[in-house]
Structure 1
Amino acid sequence: MKVLVIEDEKLVAESIRAILEHKDFDVETVYDGEAGTEYAELGIYDLLILDVMMPKLNGFQVARQVRADRCTTPILMLTARSDIEDRIQGLNAGADYYLTKPFDSRELLACVNALLRRQGDQVDELRMGNTALDLSSCTLVCGENSVRLSAREFDVIRFLLQSKGRVLSKEMILARVWGYDSNAVENHVEVYVGFLRKKLTSIGSDLKIEAIRRLGYHLEVAE
């Protein structure tokens, strides 16, 4: 699971990173609201942890902006401001939960896990055209036909399905599937798209992974 921490106090940000990485989360940190908005809108994260008082854009502004841009990633808002009006403002801006500083690491983990469970429980599969991706078994299903996917294949097709036809650049797919710190290059994306195209064809799927020149890939249902 990829988590983005948007927090201007670097000691706090690194503390959150350490807590989450100890539980095997993949964590990135940015230190102002403007950068946080740009990162969040990449659409590669499973959860945003967002401070309120930050330079450039505050947490309320960041939440409103990413929601206006149709980013549905769960937002856990962190702040030292505990007034009820502040909490209401945060929730109205688009946050899913509001945690007041200082917080216990166990409480933070409980909130993170609750938000991720809520996100995951909404669907058992992703579907487009005549094809479904079974999230529990990493299997593509089309009618009575099915094919198992490798971990990388699963992550690539899941990202494409979650994008709902939006074009994803190779850089976005690399960041989501391989991670920013990986040595993987764009050719890796091309190879796994090739694998997926063959598997989609093998089960009679009407889904096509279309390449958009100089932009990236998106899913289409063949007519």
Structure 2
Amino acid sequence: MKILIVEDEKLLADSIKTLLEDKGYEADAVYDGESGVDYAETGVYDLLILDVMMPKLNGYQVAKKLRQIHLSTPILMLTAKSDLMDRVEGLNSGADYYLTKPFDSLELLACVSALLRRQGSEVDELKFGNTSLELGSGSLICNENELRLSAKEFEVMRMLMQSKDKNLSKEAILSKVWGYDSDAVENHVEVYVGFLRKKLKSIGSDVNIVAARRLGYHLELEE
């Protein structure tokens, strides 16, 4: 699971990052709202931890921008403001949960776990056209045909299914599936997309993985 921390107090952001990494999560930290939007828009994160009071864009503005582009990633909002109307504004902006500073590390971890667990339990499969990706088994299913994917094929296909007709960059796929520290290059993405195209065709899927020059890949249905 990959988590983005958007918090202008660098010491706090880095301490949260360390806490999450110690618990086995992958985590990145950025220190202003504009960077938060830029990172979150890549679609590689499973959860956003978002401060309210930040330079450039505050947390409410960040959440609204992300929801406007239909990014459904869960948002845990952090703030020193504890008034009811502040909490209401945060939730109305698109946050899924609101945690008031100061907070205990165990409370933060419990919130993170609950939001990630809720996200996983609400979605058992992803669908596009006549094809579904079963998340539990990692299988592509079309009518009576079913095909188990390898781990990396599954992760690439899941990102494409989540993005649907919205372009997904090769860089985003690389960072999510292979990791920032990997030696993998864009050709790896192209190879796995090739594998997936063949497997979709073999099960009679009407889903096409379309390459958009300099923009990445998106899904389209055969006419």
Question: Could you tell me the TM-score, scaled by structure 2's length?
Answer: 0.95
Secondary structure at 1:34 match in 2 = helix
- Number of equivalences: 223
Q: Distance in 1 between matches of 2:123 and 2:61?
A: 29
Secondary structure at 2:190 match in 1 = helix
Matched-pair identity in %: 69
Q: Aligned partner of 2:37: which letter? A: T
Matches within 5 A, 1:199-214: 199-214=199-214
Q: Distance in 1 between matches of 2:145 and 2:60?
A: 47
Specify the alignment match of 1:54 in structure 2.
54
How far off its partner does 1:91 sit?
1.0
Specify the alignment match of 1:88 in structure 2.
88
RMSD, aligned α-carbons: 1.3
1:67-95 deviations in whole A, cap 9, x for unaligned?
12222111100112212221111111111
Secondary structure at 1:171 match in 2 = helix
Q: Aligned partner of 2:85: which letter? A: E
Q: Are 2:48 and 1:40 aligned?
A: no
Matches within 5 A, 1:72-221: 72-221=72-221
Secondary structure at 2:126 match in 1 = strand
Secondary structure at 2:166 match in 1 = coil
How far off its partner does 1:27 sit?
0.4
Secondary structure at 1:196 match in 2 = helix
Q: Distance in 2 between matches of 1:101 and 1:182?
A: 36
Q: Distance in 1 between matches of 2:121 and 2:165?
A: 22
Q: Aligned partner of 1:218: which letter? A: H
Q: Aligned partner of 1:18: which letter? A: T
Specify the alignment match of 1:67 in structure 2.
67
How far off its partner does 1:28 sit?
0.5
Secondary structure at 1:73 match in 2 = coil
Q: Distance in 2 between matches of 1:66 and 1:13?
A: 20
How far off its partner does 1:98 sit?
0.4
Q: Distance in 1 between matches of 2:12 and 2:213?
A: 42
How far off its partner does 1:159 sit?
0.4
How far off its partner does 1:204 sit?
1.8
- Which structure 2 residue ranges, 5 or more long, are not aligned? none
